[in-house]
Chain A
């Protein structure tokens, strides 16, 4: 749930998604769901000579299970807040396990 919340704060930022088959797609994040499926607007493939499959699409739905990396603008991330939230999640998980 933490990363779902994290991605919700990144809506409307431009991100680059690298898939497991090495296609890199850059676009504006419009929506994300609990499986980390993503919806990008105005998306384009970064090296479209190597992957002509998607040349004429603008809005993309990317299934979460095929994502390898998400490249983010570092200005969009508050690492302190993320650290705190991670610690809270870890505490909650530890307490639940007890």
Chain B
């Protein structure tokens, strides 16, 4: 607790009021979750609303967030009294560690593996990873007009994913895991071949699209890949 460097006014008393207040703050922020759940049961928080919406006094605290073990206590008081550490990237992904997760990337690649490690950028390390390839089934058209999908699993082993490419990460529901709706399994080479064809078609479409946008004098909007 190196917060009282400047409060040595030459007084012989070694215990200024600074550290005691800080401990109180820490105690408050480390409140047990029972308080939090009681507060959460009220549907719309009507008290302390203004405190949350108030412009935060400093953005100095934010950039180098270290995770739940950090000793910095953010200033704002939250309406539902959860410890401030609950609203960090680290806290959100902590529950996924050592669980089987689906990670979907921005280019729609899907990896299924056990999440072992992550950081504040959502970089992830997965072990026992399988890349699940999805391709629209060109043959089967379902009764309601929608196509079923073909899937294949390609074993990758240990994989790291850079955070900026992550779109969604979710814990696999082990009960539902085996019958994936709308999907039938197919051999990997078949799926890869169909994917390559699809990719070529998509590329041709995108080039046409870009040309159309540009000739209209607009910047092309490519969604997530742009």
Contacts and interface: CB of A to CB of B under 8 A. Distances in A.
A66 B78 CA distance: 26
B158 interface: no
Interface in A47-84: 48-50, 52-63, 65-66, 75-76, 78, 81-82, 84
B125 interface: no
Contacts of B2: none
B122 A37 contact: yes
Contact of A8 (B52, B55, B95, B96): B52
A71 to B, nearest CB: 16
A15 interface: no
Contacts, number: 143
Interface in B136-183: 146, 149, 151, 163-164, 166-173, 176-177, 180-183
A54 B111 CA distance: 11
Given A48-B182, A54-B102, A19 B163 contact: no
B45 A56 contact: no
Contact of A61 (B92, B132, B134): B92
B129 interface: no
B3 interface: no
13 contacts: A5-B52, A8-B79, A20-B223, A22-B223, A31-B86, A31-B92, A33-B88, A34-B65, A53-B104, A56-B180, A60-B168, A63-B163, A66-B167
Contacts of A19: 167-168, 224
Given A9-B79, A61-B96, 12 more contacts: A2-B53, A8-B78, A20-B106, A31-B86, A31-B92, A34-B88, A37-B89, A48-B181, A56-B177, A57-B172, A61-B170, A81-B49
B168 A62 contact: yes
Interface in A10-58: 11-12, 19-23, 25, 31-35, 37, 39, 43, 48-50, 52-58
Enumerate the 10 nearest inter-chain pairs by beta-carbon distance, A residue then B residue, closest first. A57-B170, A85-B53, A20-B224, A1-B56, A60-B170, A56-B176, A39-B92, A66-B167, A61-B169, A49-B146
A43 B87 CA distance: 19
B168 A63 contact: yes
A50 B146 CA distance: 8
B54 interface: yes
A3 to B, nearest CB: 10
